[in-house]
Each structure stands twice: as structure tokens, then as C-alpha cells.
């Protein structure tokens, strides 16, 4: 995974029609969510909706977590906290990871299908530039470090990875391992919040923030060690 990872200008031109379709569809969906379903970005409402499904709650939660990667109406870690409060730390983390891996695979495959022009319409320029730089310098190891950072959105990261030569099974491993620590912390925080253990919640959040800061500060060194 070295060198520039994206398609040629010829491929860009060939995909213009598909870009238009994807961009229009995304815009319509965003407007529809904002106008008719703003509660999709409300963790409390999502919790209530999942609980209302009764025995199908785990399946419903996995579906919501999958959709958040594709549509990104709410951060995955916030949903992981909801999962922790509903199902406990271990089960909540497991359900979150199943959903996140499934959603990441879908975004990855869609990006591979429609190409860089579509992704550039939907992902911020600075995210594209950061991905280019990290992937060019560190390859798969650099991508793994990005997955360790909760501030880098799942949808953007997986879409960009879909433009690279990375294999789907490699992406699945990177997502499952790289996202696990922060999602487990979020689920544990959600579980303790439900039990009113707010000191533990503050400690878990603090651990997550410090760990993320350390990973960011030493990201190049960590990528070199992993690689």
C-alpha cells in the first residue's frame, strides 16, 4: 500500500455520472433525516426505540450501529454507550463491533464501486489529505493507527480505504481490532452511567481521552512499531 492510492484522471471522468447520482442521493437523504427524523441523532430516543423491540433488541441495535457508519447521524461511540447501558459491557461491546464491522465493510465496498470522485464529494478535503499522507508513509500500519483514533469518522476512513488496494478482510481486521478499545470503554461508561456510578464514568472517559491523545502524539512511532 505505497504511493498514491487513488484513481487516475481517466477513471475520475468515467465516474462523473455515478458521482452525481451518489451526491444527489446523499443530499436528499441528509435533508430527509434532518426534516422528518431528527431523532435519529438522539441517543435517548434510539435507546427507547431499541428497547421497544423486546427480544429483537440486540438485532435492532446491531442494525442501528451498522447504519451509523453508513449515514453517520450520530457518533458510534455514543451508540456504544447506549449498548453498554442496555446489554452490559461485554454484550454491548460485541453488538457494537458487529454493527461497526458490517457498516464499515458496506462503506468500503461502495467506495470501491463508485471510486474516488464520489468519495471526494462526501469526505472533507482535509480528511482525504491526511489519509493520503498517512497511507503513503505507513501503509496498513498507519491505517490501523487511524482506526485507533475515535476522532477519525468510521465512514470517512472506510470510504478512503476503499479507494486503496487494501483487501476487505484486512479492513475487517483493522476495524475490529482498532475500534475495539474505544467502543469497549464507551460501553463500560454507558453501563456505569445506567448504574449511577458517575465517578467510574468520569474515569473511563478520562482514560479514553488520554489514550487517544497519546496515540495521536506518537502515531508515527506506533505505526512504525506495528509495521
Instruction: List the grid coordinates of 39.
Output: 431523532
Closest CA to 181 of 155, 211, 206: 211
Mean pLDDT, the chain, as a whole number? 76
pLDDT in tens, 162-203: 877 888 999 999 999 999 999 999 999 999 988 888 899 899
- Residue 91: pLDDT band (50, 70, 90) is very high
Instruction: List the grid coordinates of 33.
Output: 433525516
User: What is the DSSP annotation of the chain?
Assistant: --S--S--HHHHHHTHHHHHHHHHHHHHHHHHHHHH-GGGG-HHHHHHHHHTTGGGHHHHHHHHHHHHHHH-SS-HHHHHHHHHHHH-HHHHHHHHHHHHHHHHHHHHHHHHHH-HHHHHHHS-HHHHHHHHHHHHHHHHHHHHHHHH-TTS-HHHHHHHHTTSS--HHHHHHHHHHHHHHHHHHHHHHHHHHHTT-HHHHHHHHHHHHHHHHHHHHTHHHHHHHH-
pLDDT in tens, 32-69: 444 544 555 577 788 888 899 999 999 999 999 998 88
Domain range summary for the chain, segments of one domain joined by + = 42-226
Instruction: List the grid coordinates of 216.
Output: 495521536
Backbone φ and ψ of 11, nearest 5°: -65, -35
Which single residue is written with the C-alpha cell 479514553?
208
The span from the CA of 12 to the CA of 114, in Å, is 10
Higher pLDDT, 142 or 52: 52
| Mean per-residue pLDDT, 203-220 | 81
Higher pLDDT, 46 or 25: 46
Amino acid at each position: 500500500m505505497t504511493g498514491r492510492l487513488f484513481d487516475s484522471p481517466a477513471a475520475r471522468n468515467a465516474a462523473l455520472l455515478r458521482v452525481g447520482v451518489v451526491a444527489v442521493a446523499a443530499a436528499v437523504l441528509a435533508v430527509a433525516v434532518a426534516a422528518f427524523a431528527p431523532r435519529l441523532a438522539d441517543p435517548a430516543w434510539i435507546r427507547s426505540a431499541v428497547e421497544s423491540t423486546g427480544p429483537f433488541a440486540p438485532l435492532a441495535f446491531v442494525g442501528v450501529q451498522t447504519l451509523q457508519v453508513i449515514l453517520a447521524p450520530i457518533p458510534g461511540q455514543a451508540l456504544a454507550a447506549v449498548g453498554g447501558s442496555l446489554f452490559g459491557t461485554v454484550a454491548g461491546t460485541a453488538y457494537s463491533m458487529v454493527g461497526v464491522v458490517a457498516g464499515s465493510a458496506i462503506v468500503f465496498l461502495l467506495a470501491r464501486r463508485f471510486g474516488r470522485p464520489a468519495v471526494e464529494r462526501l469526505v472533507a478535503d482535509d480528511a482525504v489529505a491526511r489519509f493520503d499522507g498517512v497511507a503513503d508513509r505507513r501503509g496498513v500500519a498507519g491505517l490501523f493507527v487511524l482506526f485507533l483514533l475515535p476522532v477519525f469518522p468510521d465512514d470517512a476512513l472506510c470510504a478512503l480505504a476503499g479507494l486503496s488496494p487494501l483487501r476487505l478482510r484486512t479492513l475487517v481486521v483493522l476495524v475490529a481490532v482498532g475500534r475495539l478499545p474505544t467502543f469497549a470503554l464507551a460501553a463500560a461508561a454507558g453501563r456505569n452511567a445506567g448504574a449511577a456510578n458517575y465517578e467510574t464514568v468520569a474515569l473511563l472517559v478520562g482514560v479514553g481521552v488520554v489514550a487517544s491523545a497519546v496515540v495521536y502524539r506518537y502515531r508515527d512511532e506506533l505505526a512504525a512499531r506495528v509495521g
